[in-house]
Structure 1
């Protein structure tokens, strides 16, 4: 006898109320819960006092984070002792160099309220961020505020660090001696390539307000004399010549015309056999599997006038139109990949 599977609404409920879990994690990160527990495990009462929380929903908040997998717990309610889960301890403790909570801080402080206007964005095709209220673009608004710029750079570094480490270790650098990271932000990609491939001389290029932060980062890592930090405008200036040109989370900020311009400039800067590497949440060719990449493309609607994330097929077409001979995809961490084009 043939049986039919039961239609289940649980996925609808989980996704439809997903902002419950999201805001709980974002709030825990913002108030420093994981950093506090990174020092030592604490009771619920200790957490309440040290973070200035009200007792009413204290255990609901903490136990929700247990159920979501972000905290561990011994005991229950008044007898409970809480500690970080392994991933929270490594990635959400501000006192650890592996901290990637910057992207969550930015999601909480900026993106969360902007996404409330997704419907407006879908109907108008216009950004729904700071530009909606005062006419400034995303980057104008961020660069005008040094504190916000640092938060943005921390966020971008945090979300990409795992990918940069994976790329630095997995890519075969044997036949390459120089690398230039275009829009290099805080210099994390160049730092990881340098740490894992000593024969490769790396340059990180970005606008002056950013390169000063990148230089601080390189000095702090002991790489100040190894990574070349250069100021420049990647639209206005020629790219420095290098065996490898990289871009991490850059192309998706721009529309097709500007994507083509940046890819053409990369092609021009490379020697024959040189590699152009784009590290992003590349969408699968069928556009049905990488949900995060597709949602990030919606975020580009919220954040930019024309930006969008692209598929493996899109990248292949754009790269070959610019003159590149071949392309391939290297999976990195989570939904991210390195799209590689060879001249």
Structure 2
């Protein structure tokens, strides 16, 4: 009898439906700084990890926690249960050790501390079209961040973390031979400027953000030892012109705003560029058919949660706005994972 292969399966339904379980396991491990501590020790037994983290649950709970992280690909394990010895995988060691400059856990920390709870109100956001973050308490999210040094530090670390792989790829894949200067608008901790300067020794870069961010960027610049070619500058890109440069970059900036403000920011970038200059938007650009880049769609929903009117977009959208502003041509440069650089040339 021929076996049927097209029977319905609940596998994907349950995988997605319980996805928050997997997410919370990773976010909790990051909040415990598990990967940072493991990087220091190299290898540890489950019992020692339990004691180090001060866990009061049963040993079996600890095994489940660590073994789930192993199945997910974040930990390596030798032995089993009470004989198991754990260590970081290559990816976890590179990107989840807080003591390494390649650490991207800042965005995961913010997801755990803020977004995990707010996403519980996604349905309300879709029904009302209103943000579901601090704004529900009549508080200005960005205002709160820039008033509180600890919140600002967490936010800049988050923005750096989510984009670090993209910055590294852009610095090495984009052709900078025709350019000498770059300004990163909304540059946060300055990592994009630093990556570009590190991999392109002729480039001089400026990280441009609001005044409270400048000390954070300066500290990062000093850490990398590139203050001869990278500097931080302060200003509000909505109320003042963008400083002149050969390349203007916005990483995870356009998606914060509605279409009118997106076009306005692209026009400001156009005005800052010389003929032949390039405007670059680094984000989770959604594929034009809207069938593949689900990360971009989820990030767009995150903009609903955070801003109410912001959204992520396709390359076709970007082309339309670039045409409105007056850019001569565009191109799309794939970067790390689901993100790309949408580029418009003046």
The answer as to whether partners of 1:45 and 1:78 remain within 8 angstroms in 2 is: yes
String of CA shifts for 1:18-65, please: whole Å, max 9, x gaps: 001000000001011111111120001100111101241111111111
Give the root-mean-square deviation of aligned CA atoms. Answer: 1.2
Give TM-score, length-normalised by structure 1.
0.98
Change (3 A) 1:2 1:64: closer
Report the 3-state secondary structure (helix = DSSP H, G, I; strand = E; otherwise coil) of the residue aligned with 1:199.
Answer: coil
The answer as to whether partners of 2:209 and 2:236 remain within 8 angstroms in 1 is: yes
Deviation at 1:212, TM superposition (A): 1.4
The answer as to whether partners of 1:324 and 1:342 remain within 8 angstroms in 2 is: yes
String of CA shifts for 1:290-312, please: whole Å, max 9, x gaps: 00000000000000131100111
The answer as to whether partners of 2:181 and 2:205 remain within 8 angstroms in 1 is: yes
Once residues 12 and 309 of structure 2 are traced to their aligned partners in structure 1, the CA distance between those partners, rounded to angstroms, is 31
Q: Does 1:58 align with 2:62?
A: yes
Deviation at 1:225, TM superposition (A): 2.8
Deviation at 1:227, TM superposition (A): 0.9
Once residues 290 and 208 of structure 2 are traced to their aligned partners in structure 1, the CA distance between those partners, rounded to angstroms, is 32
Q: Does 1:235 align with 2:238?
A: yes
Report the 3-state secondary structure (helix = DSSP H, G, I; strand = E; otherwise coil) of the residue aligned with 2:65.
Answer: helix
Once residues 239 and 23 of structure 2 are traced to their aligned partners in structure 1, the CA distance between those partners, rounded to angstroms, is 39
Report the 3-state secondary structure (helix = DSSP H, G, I; strand = E; otherwise coil) of the residue aligned with 1:318.
Answer: helix
Once residues 288 and 312 of structure 1 are traced to their aligned partners in structure 2, the CA distance between those partners, rounded to angstroms, is 14
Q: Does 1:250 align with 2:253?
A: yes
Where do 5+ consecutive residues of structure 2 fail to align? Answer: none
1:34 aligns with 35
Report the 3-state secondary structure (helix = DSSP H, G, I; strand = E; otherwise coil) of the residue aligned with 1:87.
Answer: helix
2:130 aligns with 126
Deviation at 1:274, TM superposition (A): 0.7
2:121 aligns with 117
Deviation at 1:137, TM superposition (A): 2.5
String of CA shifts for 1:306-336, please: whole Å, max 9, x gaps: 1100111000000111000111100000000
Equivalent residue runs for 1:164-183 within 5 Å:
164-183=167-186
Number of residues of Structure 1 aligned to a counterpart in Structure 2: 342
Give TM-score, length-normalised by structure 2.
0.97
The answer as to whether partners of 2:203 and 2:229 remain within 8 angstroms in 1 is: no
The answer as to whether partners of 2:330 and 2:345 remain within 8 angstroms in 1 is: yes
Deviation at 1:214, TM superposition (A): 0.4
Equivalent residue runs for 1:1-343 within 5 Å:
5-39=6-40, 40-56=42-58, 57-133=61-137, 135-343=138-346
Report the 3-state secondary structure (helix = DSSP H, G, I; strand = E; otherwise coil) of the residue aligned with 1:59.
Answer: helix
String of CA shifts for 1:128-159, please: whole Å, max 9, x gaps: 001111x1222112112110110110111111
Report the 3-state secondary structure (helix = DSSP H, G, I; strand = E; otherwise coil) of the residue aligned with 1:310.
Answer: coil
Once residues 69 and 122 of structure 1 are traced to their aligned partners in structure 2, the CA distance between those partners, rounded to angstroms, is 34
Where do 5+ consecutive residues of structure 1 fail to align? Answer: none
